[in-house]
Each structure stands twice: as C-alpha cells, then as structure tokens.
Amino acid sequence: MLRFERALSALSLTAVCALSACAVDTGPSEAEADPPEASEDVAGARAPLVRVNANWFWPDGKVPYCFDADFPPAWVPTVHSAIENMERRLPIDFTHVRCDAGQDDYVRFIQGFGDTGGESEDTGWDEGEQDITIFSVPSESLVTHEMLHALGMYHEQSRSDREKYVTINWACIDSDKDHNYDTKSNTFTSGVYDYESIMHYRTGAWCASTPPAWCNVPDGSGTACATIVKKDGSLIGRNTVMSREDINSMYYMYSEPFPVADGDYAGVSVAVGDFDGDGYADVATGLPFKAVNGAGAAGEVRVYKGTSRGLYPWQTITQGDIGWVSRVNDRFGWTMAAADIDKDGRAELIVGAPYEAVDGLANAGAVAVLRPDDAGKLQAFRTYTQKTQGLGVVRANSYFGYGLAAGDFGRARTASGAIDPAWGLALAISAPGEASSRGAVYLFGQTNPTSGSPKHRTQRITGSANGDQFGFALAIGNVDDDTELELVVGSPYASSAHGQVDVFNGAAPAAASNLSAPMVTHWESVAAPEAATRNFGASLAVANFREDGPDEIAIGAPGTQNSTGAVYIFRKELVFADPNAFHLKQTILQNGAQEPGDEFGFALVAANVEPSTTQHELIIGAPGENDRAGAISVFRGGIANLQALQILQQSDITGATAQPFSRFGYALAAGSINGMGDSDVTSDQFNQHVGNPLRHIPDVVVGSPSIDSFSLFRGNHTVGLVGHAKH
C-alpha cells in the first residue's frame, strides 16, 4: 500500500610494528612509565599511537584481567570500577578471571614498589601474561590510562607531528626522564590533536628538581613547571577521564563489522544525530526485514559511531530493547528520525514500526523514542501508538509511524506568562493509512523528564478524502519567518494522485491553564502545480535556500511524467489580489538525462554542505535512475534559484560501483559526521567550533536498500559532496 578496512580514526599509527619496536617492557623510569599522580589524577592524557598491524590488537576485543595474589585488596574495587566504566564506553569485552585459570592471554595487576603512579608492561596485545604495575593507591584515571596502554595506545605527545601543536621545554625536564618526551618516529599521524586525552602529559610532568626560573609559569592557583605547553604557550591540564578522541580511537581499533545484511533492506531508512554528544554525528539505519529470534521481517536498527575518520559499528537495537516483542512482519526501523527532543545536547532516535500489530490489529503501527545514556548507548525512553494520551483509537492498516518529524512547536507558558523551558521538542507522527487511507497526523508535546511531573499537549489532524494518504511525508520549518515553526504535510495520492501539500501554522505558546489549545492551525492547501504533476508531496524538505526571507518548501513529485520526477520550490509571498500565501518559485528537473522511471524527487534533504554562504543546498534522490541503480543530485542554494552543482552515484565512492537495482537515493539524511575533518585540528579548535556550520560541515548519508547498504558523502568547503565510504 505504501512506498516501498578499517579507516584511520583520530589516531597516530605505527607504520612499522615489529615486536621490538612496539611492545614496551620497561621499568618505571623508562619510556612508557607514567609520572606520579598529583591529587589522585594521572599526569598524562591520551594516546593515539597504535599498532597498525591488527595482530597487536587483543583478539576480538576480549581482554581477561586478574589480580596478583599480593595485589592489595583495598585497591581492587577501584580497578573494577575503572574497567566497568571503560567497558560501557568502548568496544572491549573485559572479563575478570583468576590468574591461574588457564587462559592464554590476560592482563595481570601487580603491586610495585619504590615509585608512585603506574606502568604498563606492553603497549597492545603481546600474548601470554602482561602486567600493569600499580605503585601507590590508584585512582580510576590511573587505571584507565594504564589499561589504554595495554590496549595499544601510546602517549598523545609522542605523535610524530606534535611540533605543530605543543612546545617541549627540554631545560625544564628531568634529564633522567626526558626520553619520556621522545616522539615515535615510526608512526603515521592523522587526526585531531587531543589536549584532552587521558594519554597526554600535563604541563609539569617529569619536571627537573631545580629547573631554570623561567620554567615556573602562572597556572591560576600558583605556578607550574612548563615542561610541555600548547603552541600558544597555554598550559595543558590534567585529564582524568577518556576524551572523545580516546574513545573514538578505540572504535577505530576494535569495533567489529556488523553481520552481513542479506535481503534485510538495510538503508531503507537512515537518520543522523549526535547520540553521545561528542560533536560527531552518528548514523542509524533501519533493517526492517531482518529476522529476529526466528521472526521474519521483525526488524532491527544499527547505529554507527561518527568519528573524524569515518563511521564504525556501535549498537544494535531490536524491539526487545524497548520492551516489545519481535514478531513477524513488524518491520521495526522502516522509518527513522533523530532530534534532540529533551534539549540536553544529545539526540534521541525516533524509530517507526508502521507494520506493527497493536492490540491484535494488523499494521496499526507504533513508534519508539530511544534516549542516550551518559555513554551514548540508546535506551527505551517513550513509546507511542494511536491511543497514546487518549488521542485516538487503534485501527488496523493505519501505518502509524510512517512519517516522523520533530520540532520546537506546541510549547507552553509558565504561570507568569514566560515561555516554559521545561518543554522539549514536539513529535509529529503520521498514520497515512488511517480511515481508508484518508490519513492522519498525531502531535505530541511533553515536558522533559527532569522537570517534575510530566505535562502533555496533543492534537490529531485528519486528511480530507479517502485515499489521499495524508501524512505520507512530514517536515517542520519556519516558512513564515516568525517566532513559531510550521508543520508541512504531504498527501501524494490526493486529487487522483496529483497530490497536495498542507501547511499548518504553529500556534503561539499556550497558557499554562490551557494546554488543550491547538498546537497548530491549518493555513493553506497547496495543489499540484501542473497537470502532469504526480505524487506531489511524496517527499518534503524545509530550509533557507536563499539568503533572505523565510524558509522555503521543497516538494518532491517522483511520479511526474511517467515517474521521471520533479521537485517544486514554494515560498511564502504576498502577491496583490492573490489569496494564496505560497507561490511556486522554481521547478527543478534532474541535472542529467531525464528518463521515465528515474523517480527524481523520491527523497529530499537540505543541508549547508558548501558553507561559503549561509543558504542550504538541496540534495535530491532519484533511486530509479539507470535501471534503478540510483543517483542523487545536489543543487546549490543562492540569492536567486537553486543551481545544479553535482549528480552523484555509488561509483563516486572509491572502490564502489553503480549496481543495477540498488535503489541508491531511496533515503537521505544529513549531519556533521566528520566534525572538522582530521587535518591540523586540535581538540581546542574542535570545541570552539561545535555547531559552527563554517567548520562543522554537514555530510550526507544515502540509503541503497536493495543491496542492503548506505553510503557516506562528506561535505566540502568548495566542491559540494565528496564520496567517502559505503557501509
């Protein structure tokens, strides 16, 4: 009924990794010893010098650890706690074992004497027993630091390119310890230089006993010994927890590929959002035909972690993770969206299962919202059906969850009249099959979980006529250039499949005593602009494509001209004696050969992928192009009309080919997955520019469900999109 190698992370890598060059077996005063702690904090921070040879990674990321018989029992809980925290954040499976349990490879914690701090016998897996020596009462940060050595990380300031980022003041360093500041010459360096790493030395590490007077520099609470400082002369502090680059480095090293998808329709939906709040957007893709526990087409969702060097497998989510039962043909993951619903700086994942049976009614549909914990792992948060908050009744064949959108509308005021900050983003969830495919859209607003007893706002909007499939597509944006957002709803089968789009005005925030007030009100119905237009409203995007004025509405009509397809740009304008608010500003046809069956306009996404100006680009999917191999087109925003910039296929990714029947371009999503890239960037610069579109450029994810994949294209300052990887 409805439509149907590992890449480099932010690391320095050992280019040559013979055992003698990479394994470290030294005393506490030698190369891989760590300075004594101060105030329970390890002196160092991060280490991205890792063995490029995977033979030196712990097999399958499994790391047994044990305690020597003489290891102080009072220190054991600290070690356990540190390792449990690492396991929550890293793709590592730690197991506590007895040292004499017969395992071949393991880390042994032993007590050392005659020093403070700790050391790791080896950097990376070295077969057999390898020791971490603790010389004094440990902190969790010390244990974490030493365990990261054992997992394969050297110190950050050992990078061969460190001279661009730090200054080493050799005169300030103890001459017996200065070899600790040597670089690793046999390394290949790439990635964000990370002052925040738990493997980076702090200013003052290994200070000489009587340094020159000029070494003593102010540190805000006294003086510090300027052994190592940032290139601008500022000090490097103690880092007591793993940084984002530490964590991402471990995913480069140890993440395992997801099982091969085969006929699961991976890529039928994609969503991009920063689930762990690290500044790199992550990617979720639905596999709605994945069998789960023997239930065919029950569906699952896979989440990939965004890093400076690409995407790495991270999480798998099934209905069991949200308290549902995986049943045949639920197709969990058929639709998805990502948005920071609770406004805490980390995105939630919204997952639609429009074929889910509810109360025994087939294809009624349901939606789950998953919220990240402090490690970014997505957990059950809220679920929705047609009867949530008493808004409607469950009906068979409604396909509730087929359209998903979130936006900051439907807010309310406090008793004093101020806008209440406790309200999160509102959800719009469509059920285009409801009431003989008349269709409906359900709106849900709710206060955030930290604001006390929850308050709710709801509204149900229905379509005009049977068969319209009102709600097939949804979008939210500021098309009126005022303080409230508008809801845009597509009905691609209205008017004998010519299609229609309806615009709803976002209502002003409701009074605290009137939460039942409408969240939106109908503004205008926009009809298909041409007699040949078909399926107008099958896809929608709202964005500022010009530098002035309100957002515009991009409307896909993939059935136009025997499914050649077209996209129409509408804008709110006041025209004398014209009662309509929205007027056609541009008709976009494919910037290549226009052929029946291309389905140009099947999917749309707007993103500022070329941020030399402030307007957005429009990316358009044509999954029927070239015998359904598929293509995407990029149109550059500007003061006047959008201009053709690129047409891209799978073959624009190195090593990939454009395969027939791939349906490349079926689904689209955008976000800054790569952050600022990996060239000459420090963690300070990264932090300063989070959210800055001139530096954190959006990337675009393109689904190809017929071959169970999606592709990543990176935004670029000057050339639009550049093919990066196929997943």
Report domain extents, the chain. Answer: 59-151, 156-256, 532-726
Dist CA 614 CA 436 (whole Å): 43
User: Where is pLDDT greater, at 659 or 335?
Assistant: 335
Out of 42-56, 183-197, 386-400, 413-427, the most confident range is: 386-400
By three-state DSSP, how is residue 170 classified? helix
What is residue 13's predicted lDDT score, i.e. its pLDDT? 24
CA 543/CA 428 separation, integer angstroms = 18
Q: State the DSSP string of 591-638.
A: SS---TT--BTSEEEEE-SSTTSSSPEEEEEETTHHHHTBEEEEEE--
Query: What is the arithmetic mean of pLDDT over 283-310?
Result: 95
192: confidence class by pLDDT, cuts 50, 70, 90: confident
Query: Would you place residue 695 in the very low, low, confident or very high pLDDT band (cuts 50, 70, 90)?
Result: low
DSSP-assigned states of every residue in 393-414? ---TT--TTSEEEEES-S-BB-
pLDDT higher than 60, residue 65: yes
Q: Looking at the DSSP assignment, which residues form a beta bridge with residue 427?
A: 406, 444
Residue 715 has pLDDT above 90, yes or no: no
Residue that wins the pLDDT comparison between 32 and 696: 696
pLDDT band at 21 (very low <50, low <70, confident <90, very high): very low
**Residue 255 identity:** S
Helix (H), strand (E), coil (C) string for 561-577: HHHCEEEEEEEECCCCC
Burial class (CB in 10 A: 0-12, 13-18, 19+), 575: exposed
Give the C-alpha separation, 125 to 188, whole Å.
Answer: 20
pLDDT, tens digit (0-9, with 9 covering 90-100), for 471-487: 999 999 999 878 889 99
pLDDT at 401: 98
Nearest to 358 by CA among 436, 279, 434: 434
Q: Does the annotation mark 156 as catalytic?
A: no
Q: Does 149 carry a binding-site annotation?
A: yes
Is pLDDT above 50 for 213?
yes
- Residue 547, pLDDT score: 72
Q: How far apart are CA 427 and CA 385, in angstroms?
A: 12
Tokens 């990674």, residue located: 57
Q: Distance between CA atoms of 356 and 593, rounded to whole angstroms?
A: 40
Upper half-sphere CA count for residue 267 (Cβ side, 13 Å): 24
pLDDT bracket for residue 16 (50, 70, 90)? very low
Residue 6 pLDDT:
20
> Which amino acid type is present at position 303?
V
480: nearest Cα among 410, 555, 542:
542
Q: What is the mean pLDDT of residues 254-275?
A: 93
DSSP state, 41?
B
Range among 427-436, 634-643, 689-698 with highest mean pLDDT value: 427-436
For residue 152, pLDDT beyond 80 = yes
Per the CB < 8 A criterion, the answer to whether 146 and 34 are in contact is yes
Report phi then psi at 253, rounded to 5. Answer: -75, -40
- Tell me if 282 sits within 8 A of 314, measured CB to CB: yes
**Region of residue 26 (left: phi > 0; alpha: psi -120 to 50; beta: else):** beta
Q: Which position among 32, 119, 140, 146 bears the catalytic label?
A: 146
Q: Which amino acid is at 672?
A: S
Share of the chain above pLDDT 90, in %: 68
Distance between CA atoms of residues 35 and 202, nearest Å: 10
User: Which segment of 28-32, 182-186, 488-492 scores lowest on mean pLDDT?
Assistant: 28-32
Cα(226)–Cα(222) distance, rounded to whole angstroms?
13
Q: Worst-scoring range by mean pLDDT, 13-22, 305-314, 316-325, 418-427?
A: 13-22
d(CA 371, CA 343): 11
- Its CATH architecture, for the domain 156-256, is 3-Layer(aba) Sandwich (3.40)
Higher pLDDT, 381 or 592: 381
Mapped onto helix, strand or coil, the DSSP state of residue 502 is strand
Which tokens is 115 given? 């020093």
pLDDT tier at 191 (50, 70, 90 boundaries)?
A: confident
Whole-number pLDDT of residue 20: 24
pLDDT at 23 over 60: no
59-151: CATH topology: Collagenase (Catalytic Domain) (3.40.390)
634 phi and psi angles, rounded to 5 deg: -115, 125
658: pLDDT confidence band, cut at 50, 70 and 90?
confident
Give alpha helix (H) positions in 406-458: 434-437
> At 46, is the pLDDT very low, low, confident or very high (cuts 50, 70, 90)?
very low
User: Does residue 49 have a pLDDT over 60?
Assistant: no
pLDDT over 60 (residue 1): no
The pLDDT mean for the chain works out to 87
Please give the Cα distance from 654 to 389 (Å, whole number). 50
- d(C-alpha 307, C-alpha 281), whole Å: 8
In this predicted model, which residue has the larger pLDDT, 415 or 528? 528
Q: Which fold does the domain 532-726 belong to in CATH?
A: Methylamine Dehydrogenase; Chain H (2.130.10)
693-715 mean pLDDT: 85
Cα dist. 454→372, 596, 646, 693 in Å? Answer: 19, 51, 47, 34
Q: Report whether pLDDT(563) > 70.
A: yes
Domains 156-256 and 532-726 fall in the same CATH topology: no
Cβ neighbour number for residue 716 with a 10 Å cutoff: 15
Which range of 122-126, 145-149, 611-615, 671-675 scores highest in mean pLDDT? It is: 145-149
- What the block records as the tokens of 211 is 């340094």
Cα distance between residue 658 and residue 646, in whole Å: 16
Provide the token pair at 545. 């494509």
pLDDT for the residue 39:
31
Asked if residue 96 belongs to a known ligand binding site, the reply is: no
Determine the 3-state secondary structure of 316 from DSSP. strand
Beta strands 106-111 and 62-67 are parallel
DSSP line for 455-499: -EEEEEEE-SSTT--BTSEEEEE-TTSSSS-EEEEEETTHHHHTB
Q: What is the pLDDT of residue 683?
A: 86
The reply, when asked if residue 696 is annotated as ligand binding, is no
Q: What does the pLDDT average to over 566-589?
A: 88
Going by pLDDT thresholds of 50, 70 and 90, the confidence category of residue 405 is very high
**Separation CA 318–CA 326 (nearest Å):** 7
In DSSP terms, which residues pair with 670 in a beta bridge? 700
How many residues can be counted in the chain?
Answer: 727
Spatial distance between the Cα atoms of 204 and 211, rounded to a whole number of angstroms:
11
Q: Is 528 exposed, middle or buried (0-12, 13-18, 19+ CB in 10 A)?
A: buried
Q: What is the pLDDT of residue 86?
A: 97
CB 336 within 8 A of CB 349: yes
Q: What is the pLDDT of residue 2?
A: 34
| Least confident range of 138-147, 188-197, 221-230, 334-343 | 188-197
Parallel, antiparallel, or unpaired: how do β-strands 93-96 and 62-67 relate? parallel
pLDDT at 27: 27
Signed CA dihedral, 382, 388, 391, 396: sign only: positive
